[in-house]
Structure 1
Amino acid sequence: MALNPGGPLPASHDRRPIGVFDSGLGGLTAVREILRALPGESVVYFGDTARVPYGNKSRETVTRFALEIAHFLVRQNIKCLLVACATASSHALEALRRSFDIPVLGVIEPAVETAVRASPHGRIGVIGTLGTVGSGAYPAAIARRAPAAHVISRACPLFVPLIEEGWLDHPVTRGVAEEYLAELRGAALESLILGCTHYPLIAPLLGGLLGPGVTLVDSGAEAVRSLASLLAERGQTASGSPEHHFYISDEPRNFTRVAQAFLGRELPPVTVVDQTDLPWFERLPVRGTEAR
């Protein structure tokens, strides 16, 4: 069913926004890259702050959340959807692509492509949520491009709540990072995939612990590069004065403060979505998971 019909429009004429969603504020790392690389594009962002984190939830639950949010964003007349959440990308991307007639991009494949290029000896690290690491999505994607690569994965479940709290440069966050990265620091890595879009918010801390010889791969930023290429190919790149809208599913103390500090600009008013706008979709079957 075509929920957002219509073919490509000439550049600067397709003023429809780009839809971006994440479990919380981590997807703002992708928004920051959109603002930098695609300054004429409007963005509609949804942070699911009522249900963050996604990393400790089942595939079926994450897929249901992703489809709910995607339906909400498609009703905002978006021209494409960026799933700026590695957990949702690993669990729900194919269900989203089957459900909507607009391009749907995830964050896994673009990051893997960059990490493989940056690792001539194939020594790649991956950090992410429990759900992302448990899915094996990153090692599988790496193996398709570099079968001989040596991949070390580490789940870092405490990073998302610490980042959502705004503790980006805090002794507790540093202590947790030292514990999580202990094995990786001795592994002679060439690159480390930040397999959660929250993690670039603490990239200075992670880079300081790993040292200058390790390339940090920002999965959200790499996805935006792929998005820019896609829009150019389809003749959908916009120019002019964009309008941005930010939605969240609960009232968090820190969203606006952390978002403004990270994006380096004042946000327009953030809209808290009445959750009755989302749960109607819970009654529908999740495509692609019925047989599980």
Structure 2
Amino acid sequence: MVETFKLNDGTNIPAIGFGTFQIPADGSTYQAVSDALKLGYRHIDTAVAYFNEQEVGKAIKDSGIPRDEIWVTSKLWLQDYAYEDAQKAIDLSLKKLGLDYIDLYLIHQPYGKVDEAWKAMVEAKEAGKIRSIGISNVTPKIWQKWENIFTENVPSVNQVEFNPYFQQKELRKIMAEHKISLEAWAPLGQGNHDLFTEPVLVEMAKKYGKDVGQIILRFEHQEGAIVFPKSVHEARIKSNKEIFDFELTSDEMDAIRALDKGKGMHDPDAPGVEEMLSQYDVHAND
């Protein structure tokens, strides 16, 4: 049984999921998601911009696991944020996934016509096409810009870069005010060598008979973050999930909190990010 967190809309989301970012749609996504489901994962994270929704949906269908036991997240890409485009994109995601509803749907990049996209998502939720709606890559500065629309219909989650080197302290204060849950992308720092050789983490791994990745994921879980590490290797997919049979002490949690560098690999506020992302066409093959 996978542990869950309760979102601000009352739904229960599995505390650990399986991420599919950068897994190609050449059969690799189908295989990785099938492996993850066999190993007990019940939360799969995809996006229109990952180009692998179809393989995710097929793996879910072929798993034989009842639909209501699997949590599926997808994300709307910014070229579809105009209201009518967003409506069409939500229906297209449902079609590609082969599902009647999506458990969580996110604004993937918070630029452009965010207000129109959000309106379409709120309506899709009311229509039963989506269970929970949320945002991604929203910084304190971006939150301020869209605060009026997000406080009217509060997002259930904000999916952001989060790991021991980037702990999002300022952002988490804002999120706590609105009971918005944090989902961590790059929970393992995308394999950052420095992070995996931090003496404090190496020592804890020895103490608990775990690997450093499991210590990091356990820390994030205890901080209340929903994590979805990504791997295409079955052994790693399995070990990433084995974080519920031990608990870090408050001193150990403090020691890991002290590793925070206050910045990550991606800065959504950086000049030019919006322009760069706007060039990305997710419908090139539709």
TM-score, with structure 1 as normaliser = 0.35
| Bigger RCO of structures 1 and 2 (CA < 8 A, at least 6 apart) | 1
TM-score, with structure 2 as normaliser = 0.36
